[in-house]
Structure 1
Amino acid sequence: MNHTDVLIAGSGPTGLTLACHLALRGFAVRVVERRTEPHRESRGKGLRAGSLAIFQELGMAEPLIAVGTAGVVLRKYFDGEHINDTPTPADAGLLIGQWQIEGALRDRLASLGVHVEYGAELVGITQDEEGVRAELADGSVIAARYLAGCDGGRSTTRKLLGIPFEGNGEAEPAMVIGDVRAPGLGRDVWHQWFTSEGGGMLLCPIPGTDSFQLQASPEHDERGEPVAPSLESFQRIFDRCARVPGIRLEDPTWISSWRVNVRMATRIRQGRVLLAGDAAHVHPIAGGLGMNTGIEDAAALGRALSAALAGPDADVALDAYEAERLSVAAGVLADTAERYERVVEAVRTPGRGTEVGLD
């Protein structure tokens, strides 16, 4: 059986930040990931100042600052007409794709001698006073002093522990999303098209690439049912909202949809197993707080686990982590729900856009 100090399930920004924190302090850490390889999806695309400060402490902020963009300009259109340009607030942080953030974290982790173990799916958890036994789908078992579930909103870790994920969510998608190229469209601003009929499309240039992150209101068919996202659907929405002839969207490297979910775990510690990031809480995207809250969870959990591994008062440190981050999560859920409602209302007025969610 393989032994380690901390086993981390999930190799997103939360899990990788935690792994770097622990490895930098000399603890043995392993990271298992159900995916068979890294993704290249823009997803959460903004780093707040708090996250950048954490990355500075980990010694890997500079590559991100070199690639990312600060001070993005939001270009607002209404019914196809350019209305105004609005700079993002000075403290809005850094625009950069999530896959780029994860790449920098993996590089830093590799420099500390740790590599993500892909194709490793967690299927069972048992624990006692001495540690945790994690069973993987291939039948292997990893023994660890602690297990951190950083495996996303559909967390296997949380489900195996039977921890309730309370809150509410919408059955239908609020947005279709993806990464596409749009040759001929300017890349110096974040384009935001809205219409008097309702709905809209946003195309945000991802720094260091030739792609845009697309966010749009979903299409509906003749029965009023949402149309599954596709490149063809993206193009129809673009033509209806942007009304810019000659621009053809192409090369989709990510196509998905997003639903409003406001949920949090009733507890984020169960013995020697702890949750962080989306495994512990999910909420609206307004304000760009999701990934950043997970990174802050990871830093807090890293401090707690370091104290637990090094000292006699493990329960005190881990209980304090749970109390602190559950309180933070509850506040973020309420805050982002309110920000999302502000954005939904604001975009009905010409010249207003997602900046109201950053205030």
Structure 2
Amino acid sequence: MDAARAWVHRAVRLVEADGNRSADTHLRVLPLPPDWGVQLYLKDESVHPTGSLKHRLARSLFLFGLANGDIGPGTTLVEASSGSTAVSEAYFARMLGLEFLAVVPRTTAVAKLELIRRHGGRLHLVDHPGEVYAVAEELGARPGWHYLDQFAMASTVTDWRGNNNIASSIFEQMAMEENPEPEWIVVGAGTGGTSATIGRYCRHTRRRTRLAVADPEGSAFAEAWRTGSRTVTAPGSAIEGIGRPRVEPSFVPSVIDLVATVPDAESVAATRLLHERLGVSAGPSTGTNLVLALRLLDGMRRAGETGSVVTLVCDSGARYLATYGDDAWVASRGWDVTAARERLEPLFGTGA
């Protein structure tokens, strides 16, 4: 065996060892009035070593790149990211002793940028989020470089049949609950990889569970799902980590049962109510998920139906203290979080 092949074998072992020593993420229960007959569970992806759902994606991207011959000793890696994926990829790149460059919008939360640097990554800042694709692709075409391309590869690199993906983990953890097969699983879409994995898994394992995507204002996904057009464009999302100005290659509308737009103010209000009710500090994309999950539960309750809904805690609110967690910053966006909170409190089992 030559030295390059031996390096790849060692690299695969290192990446898989990271998953082997990490316990599965927690499935939390949000307390709701027992007489409602419905339950809400939150799979807390913020407990991964790099603090977000994107740790799973980064691990899969690296394993695919190694197995596919794209990543070898001395490869310089580059990614287009809104922050969290780059944090996780920087972690795995340093594990393998490789250089990593993140192409990210200049508006990315400062805490995320600091985490990328802390894990050994370098930054290439662009002024407009839509620029990240072309810049990262151009850099990745250099000799000895590789563009990880999460937006194109997210739905390909994860084994949707099982193998401890997020979908199989949810159903395993739900097995002993009162309503073990959820009526709905609710996720956001950034690359579209998570929704593709869960939707495919539910069909492959013959589940009746339906999949809903919570889409923030300004994202192209809701209109693309409604019309069936992949050429839809939009201004882009103000909720960091989800929603895109274009339909990403990994977004698979055919496995999704519902896409609903969630107002930005409600996303922020929901994260604050979640912290008060469950003590969980989460980022704004978690709030987007939570709003739609609660509305689906409310619809079930009003129809006299019982059952469960599962959604995700995508990352920690600690990354957003200077932005979505700051009242002055939120007010500068024109979001009326107080009014949004009043609308949502009854869905949490509080308020009139």
Higher relative contact order (CA 8 A, sep 6+): 1
Larger radius of gyration: 1
Question: Greater strand percent: which structure?
Answer: 1
- TM-score scaled by length of structure 2: 0.29
Question: Greater helix percent: which structure?
Answer: 2
